[in-house]
Structure 1
Amino acid sequence: MEITTIVVVALAVLVGLSLGLLGGGGSILVVPLLTYIGGLDPREAIATSLFVVGATSLVSLIGHARKGNVRWRTGLIFGAAGMVGAFLGGLAGGYIPGTLLMIAFALMMIATAGAMIRGRKDRDGHSQTHHHPLWRILLDGLVVGAATGLVGAGGGFLVVPALVLLAGLPMTAAVGTSLLVIAMKSFAGLGGYLTSVSLDWPLVAAVTAAAIAGSFVGIRLTSVVPERALRKGFGVFVLLMGAFVLSQELPFPSGPIILGVVVILAAAAAVCLLGLKDRCTLGRSADRQRGEAVLA
């Protein structure tokens, strides 16, 4: 086994660790890991990421299903639409230049980072059903699936809010059900890519096994590490990684300029969250949301 492969597999354990700790978001690092360290073509890296995301989601789904946190009918309907979009996205991605795919992926990273830093409002109780029409749910699943298939990210930060707002699921059920949706559309997107991309299956198996092993460790650490601080810190890191990918793919001088701007913004966010948390609007919004949940 080459040194590069060993490094990639070792770092995949850390990706899985973040997946176990955060319940999502860590998969966004698989593509840059395989592209910039593993030396894979962007299309091959995205296809590999889809397999890793799908497999780890299935493993996590088992635990949520045992707790009764999966709404199978809703997940299958949303996931079916997502599979169509993901397959079409993966089919198109196999013919899109690698640079454009990486730019799209970097934008997805930045959007993910924003969602993680901003936080989300938990709904632990029973959520009121909003009775959105079926076509709206199917359309949303189709669009989210297309994004997943195209850039190889699970898109949990898009799926969970959609399940809460469109399907009226409580947060715990939305998180569990999202794993079913993510697994379905990840494998569908992989199918689209396999029509034009060949994978190094031993590497795929090694990275997947390492990520799953790391996720088990991460799950055990959830009671020790404060989830909110970790999620926001990880969001800043993903933001920096997204800026780095953009700086590598965009022509000079726009790439370095974007990287510099994002570094400044990330540093400001870190200072706000860590040093001035009593006056930081990012921290206060999350605290206010938790207080509203307690009062409710």
Structure 2
Amino acid sequence: MTASEWLGYGAAVLAGMVIGLAGGGGSIMTVPIFVYLFGIAPLLATTYSLFVVSVTSMVGSVSHLLHRRVDLRVTAAFALPSFVSVYLARRFLVPALPDPIVSYDSYSLPKEKAILYFFSIVMLLAARAMIRHQQPEQGEAADGRPRYATLSLDGLAVGLLTGTIGAGGGFLIVPMLVLLAGMPMQRAVATSVVIIAVNSLIGFLGDLHHTEMAWNFLLPFTGLSIAGIFVGLAINRFIPPAKLKKAFGWFVGIVAIYMLVKEIL
């Protein structure tokens, strides 16, 4: 096993830690790990990412469900439309995208490179949100009444994002739940983990029709990511998550810039 592969398996634990600490963000780690440390093609990397994040988030959501931190009505309003769009995106949209995406004279933009560009931009947005770490106010739901119609539309959009680039969208889901459902931050994070778990699983199922899985590689990687969740929960008791989240935000931003520079050059 090469040094980069050893580093990749170590980073799997880190991806799980992020989910345990922040209620999302695992896919921000897994796609670059698969592409740059294991040399996996970007489209296949997004499929693998969906599986790892879904299983890891499911493990992380058990505690939230047992302690009744998850609002099931809000989860249904947001998640059901999201489930539909993520499945359709993985099953039909991504395979139907032309390759190259753009071709003009001597310039062409391959589909896999376009997905990495898009993913890098999403990483930069996620990094900005984590670095700022400002808890949103109650917004439209200041009266405590969830805006179910708006939540459903936002769910559709997040599902499309998840399906296209294999990102769970936790950095988008949490503030939406606070602003549109009037949730306290703790309940928003707990609900986000459940939504990400099922969202990612459905996106992964949409890929099984046209993707051959390397289970002997994927299952050990996922096991390490699950172990990372418990490490993250343990750290959570001693170190303020806000400080860790900000530090991780800087790390994600640096990785995103590296990806953009590498792909451009």
TM-score, length-normalised on structure 2?
Answer: 0.86
Match of 1:106 in 2: 120
Match of 2:161 in 1: 147
Match of 2:95 in 1: 94
Match of 1:203 in 2: 217
Give the Cα–Cα distance (whole angstroms) in 1 for the partners of residues 57 and 14 of structure 2.
16
Match of 2:205 in 1: 191
Instruction: Give the CA deviation at 1:84.
Output: 1.0
Q: 1:170 to 1:128 in 2, by over 3 A?
A: farther
Gapped regions of structure 1 (runs ≥ 5): 253-296
State how 1:1-296 maps to structure 2 within 5 Å: 5-91=5-91, 92-96=93-97, 97-121=111-135, 128-132=143-147, 134-250=148-264, 252=265
Q: 1:51 to 1:248 in 2, by over 3 A?
A: same
Match of 1:268 in 2: none
Letter of the 1:49 counterpart? S
What do residues 224-260 of structure 1 show as CA deviations (whole Å, max 9, x unaligned)? 223222211110110011111111222x4xxxxxxxx
Instruction: Give the CA deviation at 1:169.
Output: 2.1
Give the Cα–Cα distance (whole angstroms) in 2 for the partners of residues 107 and 147 of structure 1.
12
Instruction: Give the CA deviation at 1:111.
Output: 0.7
Instruction: Give the CA deviation at 1:115.
Output: 0.5
Letter of the 1:35 counterpart? V
Letter of the 1:155 counterpart? G
> How many correspondences in the alignment?
249
Q: 1:209 to 1:202 in 2, by over 3 A?
A: same
Q: 1:2 to 1:201 in 2, by over 3 A?
A: farther
- Structure with larger RCO (C-alpha < 8 A, sep 6+): 2
Match of 2:108 in 1: none
Residue 166 of structure 1 aligns to a residue whose secondary structure is helix
Deviates more, 1:220-229 or 1:78-87: 220-229
Instruction: Give the CA deviation at 1:127.
Output: 6.0
Instruction: Give the CA deviation at 1:219.
Output: 0.8
Q: Tell whether the 8 Å contact from 2:74 to 2:146 is kept in structure 1 after alignment.
A: no
TM-score, length-normalised on structure 1?
Answer: 0.78
Give the Cα–Cα distance (whole angstroms) in 2 for the partners of residues 184 and 19 of structure 1.
14
Gapped regions of structure 2 (runs ≥ 5): 98-110
Give the Cα–Cα distance (whole angstroms) in 2 for the partners of residues 175 and 127 of structure 1.
18
Instruction: Give the CA deviation at 1:3.
Output: 6.2
Residue 196 of structure 1 aligns to a residue whose secondary structure is coil
Give the Cα–Cα distance (whole angstroms) in 2 for the partners of residues 93 and 120 of structure 1.
34
Deviates more, 1:185-194 or 1:61-70: 185-194
Q: CA RMSD in A?
A: 2.2
What do residues 89-136 of structure 1 show as CA deviations (whole Å, max 9, x unaligned)? 223223441111111110110010010001031779x9632452x432
What do residues 70-104 of structure 1 show as CA deviations (whole Å, max 9, x unaligned)? 11122123111111111122232234411111111
What do residues 158-195 of structure 1 show as CA deviations (whole Å, max 9, x unaligned)? 11111122222222221111112111211111122223
Give the Cα–Cα distance (whole angstroms) in 2 for the partners of residues 163 and 119 of structure 1.
15
Give the Cα–Cα distance (whole angstroms) in 2 for the partners of residues 74 and 18 of structure 1.
24
Q: Tell whether the 8 Å contact from 2:19 to 2:60 is kept in structure 1 after alignment.
A: no
Give the Cα–Cα distance (whole angstroms) in 2 for the partners of residues 26 and 54 of structure 1.
10
Give the Cα–Cα distance (whole angstroms) in 1 for the partners of residues 242 and 172 of structure 2.
19
Residue 73 of structure 1 aligns to a residue whose secondary structure is helix
Residue 182 of structure 2 aligns to a residue whose secondary structure is coil
Q: Tell whether the 8 Å contact from 1:88 to 1:192 is kept in structure 2 after alignment.
A: yes
